[in-house]
Amino acid sequence: MEKIDLSPWRVEHKTGLHLEEIDTRAPRIFPAEEDALAHQTKKLSDKLNKLQATLHASRSRALLLVLQGMDTAGKDGTIRHVFSHVSPLGVRAVAFGAPTEEELGHDFLWRVHDKVPVLGELTIFNRSHYEDVLVTRVRGLIDKDICEKRYRHIEHFESLLHDCGTVVLKCYLHISKHEQKKRLQARLDDPHKQWKLQPSDFADRKHWPQFMKAYEEVLAATSTAHAPWYVVPTDSKPHRDLFIAALLVQTLEKLDMKMPRPSFSLSDVRLD
Ligand code: ADP
């Protein structure tokens, strides 16, 4: 299987990111045909399963995957599909909602630091500390000055994680406003999905341009070599899953982890 080059979707520059110039549809380098797509995704899932087992056994590194995106972009779906073959023993997903009173009494990274992975673990953040520079900014809860200070705090925080062995990967699930409308309508029409709807979904949609502007600034300001952002085209769910599976596999492969040696001599073992 050829390695997919995901570098065009990595955010490299501190300014000049225009999300409307990045296609939300499936990238052409991915298979369009359903069979080929399923085959490639299955291969990547098997690889991810093995790599996660090595991460767990070697306990020398950890991986934090941050998922951000507008409502219905598919943060939950990504977690369900991409990790469906991975042992639940080594994977943890954490969702961050609006902060509680206690959380608001602390610095904004307090609740997040408590949930980062330990060595050997793969943790997925469904929303994250980035809400504290996105939704808070759009709703006018913080001003530009505080926001810029938070970018610096975030950079230092992620640098600390990196220095302690955690690989930080950040994915912005890039959905079009049109596709979001379809998905919100599907939720409105399906009694099994209506529970997922919140008034904020519709309120946030009204502020779509402000959210896009906030995302552009945040992604550019906080994408670093040790904690890069990727803009993941998300209008096609299977392609989104393939993108993220490929990104995880490529990242874990680069760590070149080895299964640890047994802690005792196997030649001494006698099975009766
Ligand atoms: P989701 O929309 O991810 O499925 P919820 O329906 O529980 O989950 O929504 C979580 C809500 O909490 C979102 O509207 C999000 O913007 C909000 N939220 C998360 N973190 C913060 C934060 N730090 N400050 C304010 N609001 C936040």
pLDDT, tens digit (0-9, with 9 covering 90-100), for 130-154: 999 999 999 999 999 999 999 999 9
Q: What is the pLDDT of residues 3-51, one digit of tens each?
A: 899 999 999 988 889 999 999 999 999 998 989 998 998 999 999 999 9
Residue 73 and residue 132 in contact, taking contact as beta carbons nearer than 8 Å? no
DSSP assignment of 66-100: EEEESTTS-HHHHHHHHTTTS-GGGEEEEE--SPP
Q: Identify the CA nearest to 82 among candidates 65, 58, 62, 96.
A: 65
Write down the pLDDT at residue 1.
Answer: 65
Query: Cα(152)–Cα(156) distance, rounded to whole angstroms?
Result: 6
Q: Which residues line ligand 1 (CB under 6 A)?
A: 71, 96-99, 126-127, 131-132, 135-136, 198, 200
Record the pTM: 0.97
Measured in Å, residue 253 CA sits from the centre of ligand 1 at 33
Measured in Å, residue 225 CA sits from the centre of ligand 1 at 27
Q: What is the pLDDT of residues 166-202, one digit of tens each?
A: 999 999 999 999 999 999 999 999 999 999 999 999 9
15, HSE (Cβ side, Cα atoms, 13 Å):
0
Is the confidence at residue 2, as pLDDT, over 90? no
**Closest residue CA from atom 5 of ligand 1:** 97
Is the confidence at residue 266, as pLDDT, over 90? yes
Q: Quickly count: other Cβ atoms within 10 Å of residue 270's Cβ.
A: 5
